Structure 1
Amino acid sequence: MESTQTAAVEQDEAPIPAEAIVVPERGFTINRKKALIVAAFCWIGFAIMVYAVTHGMTGNFDERGLLSYRTGEALGPSGPKLIFESVRDVTALGGVFLRNLFALVAVVALLFLKLRREAFLYAATVITGWLANTGVKLLVGRERPQIVPHLTEAGGESFPSGHSFSAAVVYIGMAIAFAALSKNHTVRYTVIGFAMALSAMVAWSRVMLGVHFPSDVTAGWLGGAGWAFLAAALFYAPAKAAADSEAGKKIGPRTP
């Protein structure tokens, strides 16, 4: 038995020597003043959408948006099946399972990179974002659209879109956290811009599937993006204090 196990690990060549992996400097912060400015613009846009929806000003915008992806008397999805499957894949990124899974993996990755401050900050952003989304849902209580057939199951209130709000919080918040890996502004803006575009795609996929009005996803995305930037500014000090505490230092890999 012993000889068999030895034979199983023999090599024709010498083992490759271990090499030290040098992790670049990290822990850079975003400009909290700029984050507050972006958050303010997003929340102003959100407030405008709430006013427009509650005063019946979005009817034409909502109808045109819902019909833009439909064709024929049955109002089925237009274009090849590949587009429809892609829309379903994109919308899944904003679903409860995948977005929470990615958020959890991101927190673990930040801890392994010894970015405890960013890990605490991101966790706080996601948790409070969920609470904020739940509260905002109660403001309007709008029913889901019935203009076109729904192409996926959806329940609950329609305004604002929970998929859109949560996707913006999770992915933009994640990009802000990982921006701490680079002090290059171009890199940071690119990462955050990509997250904003990805979350916007998740938002519009809900319209293409017929389960949300365009005004629902516009407000949801603006609210979620606004929350991600607001949390990055307001929760920075508490997250830093928690990461620097004795309990916080025990979380994550130990330094040999």
Structure 2
Amino acid sequence: MHQKHSDYVTPTEPPIPAGEIHLPERGFAIDRRKALAVSLICWCVWGAMVSLVTHHRLEAFDDAGLLWFRSGTQHQILGSPRIQEAVRDITALGGVLLSTLTTLAAVIALLFLRLRREAFLFSMTVLLGWGINNAMKALVGRARPELVPHLAIADGLSFPSGHSFASAMIFIGMALAFAPMSRRHSVRYTIIGSAMIISLLIAFSRVLLGVHYPSDVIAGWFGGAAWAFLAEAVLYKPARAAADSDTADRLDPTTAA
């Protein structure tokens, strides 16, 4: 007969004592009124950009933005080739592959931290957000810029920038999911602020690579941020109900026998 193996690891040496770590069972929710207020501001900026672009009011602004930090008749990026490579590395963070892996890693981490409500909320935010972004692109139907050479592979419609929308939605949404682990406002603001800075760098890289107009990335970033904050407010109760369901109990890796 085969000996039944235990699911627990038997250490060969005495384990090092762990420090005390107190994690909230479900976290402390983000203030939904503040999330709605920030979302409203971001949606206003997004709406203004849609209106200006559809009425062709930003052509000079977009051309100047594309030509900034470029020189020569070929409009190449200033500086060494390493700068261009660094910009490509930054923009890859907002691509489909890395953004999907980042989302999966965050959801798994939230589940193992026993923050199922936040895991469900973040998952719902990203899944619905992709549909919203595609609807935005179909709404305007803007072509890619041709003023400068494309330094990265890009196809499809240009407005709003998918990388900008996705990076804002995912990084800010992820920050909103992990920020409730702390009661301190300073910690929460630092986490969310850092996510904003990272997503802004990704958005800005799309202009440097010549694949988006500045107005594309502005609208994309504010649209993604608006949705992340709005989802935090309106999807809170559905996510909590899903986290408390029997199905969630069966699928939770931390509670499976």
Same fold (TM over 0.5): yes
Please give the TM-score of this superposition, normalised by the length of structure 1.
0.92
Q: Max radius of gyration: which structure?
A: 1
Partner in structure 1 of residue 254 of structure 2: 253
Cα RMSD (Å): 1.4
| Cα distance in structure 1, aligned partners of 2:254 and 2:18 | 17
User: In 2, Cα distance between the equivalents of 1:203 and 1:24?
Assistant: 36
By how many angstroms is 1:15 displaced?
Answer: 2.3
Residue from 12, 21, 35 that aligns with 1:23: 21
Where in structure 2 are the equivalents of 1:57-72 lying within 5 Å? 57-72=57-72
Contact 1:99–1:167, Cα closer than 8 Å, also in 2: yes
**Partner in structure 2 of residue 5 of structure 1:** none
1:14-60 alpha-carbon deviations (Å, 9 max, x no partner) = 92335355432321111000000000000000000000000111011
Give 1:64-103 correspondences, 5 Å limit.
Answer: 64-103=64-103
Moved over 6 A (4+): none
Percentage of pairs with the same residue: 53
Number of paired residues? Answer: 243
Which residue does 2:113 correspond to in 1? 113
The runs of 5 or more residues in structure 2 that have no matched partner are 1-11
Find the aligned partners of 1:35 and 1:49 in 2 and give their Cα distance: 21
Shift in Å at residue 99 of structure 1? 0.4
Structure 1 gap segments, 5+ residues each: 1-13
After superposition, give the CA deviation of every residue in 1:78-104 in whole Å (9 maximum; x if it has no partner).
Answer: 112221111000000000000000000
Question: CA–CA distance in 1 between the matches of 2:184 and 2:87?
Answer: 33
Within 5 Å, give how 1:210-225 maps onto structure 2: 210-225=210-225
TM-score (norm 2): 0.91
8 Å Cα contact 1:122/1:173 also seen in 2:
yes
Distance 1:133 1:99 in 2: 14
Structure 1 residues 255, 157: CA separation in 2 closer, same or farther (over 3 Å shift)?
Answer: closer
Alpha-carbon displacement from aligned partner over 1:209-247 (angstroms, at most 9, x marks no partner)? 000000000000000000000000000001001101111
What is residue 51 of structure 2 aligned with on the other side? 51
Once the two structures are TM-superposed, the CA of residue 119 in structure 1 deviates from its matched residue by 0.2
Partner of 2:153: 153
Secondary structure of 2:138's aligned partner = helix
Question: Are the aligned partners of 2:23 and 2:113 in contact in 1 as well (CA < 8 Å)?
Answer: no
Matched, 1:237 2:237: yes
Quickly say closer, same or farther: Cα 1:254–1:49, change in 2 above 3 A. Answer: same
Contact 1:114–1:252 at 8 Å: present in 2 too? no
Residue in 1 that maps onto 2:5? none
Letter in 2 for 1:254: T
1:77 Cα deviation after fit:
1.2
